[in-house]
Homo-oligomer: A and B are copies of this chain.
Amino acid sequence: MSRITGARERARTEITAAIKDEARRQLAEEGAGRLSLRAVARTLGIASSALYRYYPSRDELLTALIVDAYDALGADAERALAAAGPPAGPPLVRWQAVCRAVRAWALEHPHEYALIYGSPVPGYSAPLVTTGPAARVGLALIAVARDAHAHGTLGAPGSPPALPPGLRADAERLAAELDIPLPAPAVAELVAAWVQLFGLVSFEVFGQLNRVVDARAEFFDQAVVRLARSLGLTGDSLSGQPAVTERGSSEGS
């Protein structure tokens, strides 16, 4: 895989990367809908048809960007988790770290976030390649709960209202697939928290909080702590200095 490469092959990987980089630049500026292969080729100084030797279609390029976005977000989440103290530390702090990292990344890369967590592109169905990177944030969240469980800092779930059978089956399947050493109700709670984390972030990034909530960071932190409590995570909340400070509503005209 890392054999010494001929000049041509090296040029190929370089150009492929250059195309993806320029595409990501345009994506970050204008959004996925306005990403134009011709524009990418233009700023790269090559003919638009030449671009098709590297990415057979616009969808393929988008897929590459999607994978990268998942990976960047996942890496940020993992980094934040690693920096938030050892596995034996207070789980609430670690939980907050991961959640705040997700929010911070999303606010910094709104178009890339929209690409992976927004409305799916019409004719496009995410290929299986994306499932691995897509799971990284979820795995980080799982790690927090798992470590807390292992170190006895995972209390009882907030409200376990008799897991219905289908949900229990899902939880057990997930626990088996991902090797999560947690009881089914905890897994179900974890999935719910995962969904709500991204619900919070999406609402903010997509501008749905405009004219409703101004204290975005406080709102987010509050919700995150509540999620953690419902999971049974213990520890004191670190309330000061949120990962992303307040900013005015980001709408245009």
Contacts and interface: CB of A to CB of B under 8 A. Distances in A.
List the number of copies, as a whole number: 2
Given A121-B33, A122-B34, A252-B125, A167 B229 contact: no
5 closest A-B pairs (Cβ-Cβ)?
A199-B199, A166-B215, A118-B119, A114-B119, A31-B122
A223 interface: yes
Nearest to A121: B33
Interface in A177-222: 188, 191-192, 195-196, 198-200, 202-203, 206-209, 211-215, 218-219, 221-222
Nearest to A252: B125
Contact of A222 (B126, B161, B222): B161
Interface in A92-150: 114-115, 117-123, 125-126, 131
Given A119-B119, A161-B237, 13 more contacts: A34-B123, A119-B206, A125-B251, A163-B222, A164-B222, A165-B218, A166-B215, A167-B215, A167-B222, A169-B214, A170-B213, A195-B203, A196-B223
A193 to B, nearest CB: 10
Interface in A15-72: 30-34
A88 B46 CA distance: 69
A253 interface: yes
A14 interface: no
Interface of A: 30-34, 114-115, 117-123, 125-126, 131, 159, 161, 163-167, 169-170, 174, 188, 191-192, 195-196, 198-200, 202-203, 206-209, 211-215, 218-219, 221-223, 225-226, 229-230, 237, 239, 246, 251-253
A226 B222 contact: no
A229 B195 CA distance: 18
Contacts of A230: 226
Contacts of A117: 206, 208
A31 B229 CA distance: 39
A214 B114 CA distance: 24
Contacts of A212: 170, 174, 191
Contacts of A170: 212-215, 219
A159 B229 contact: yes
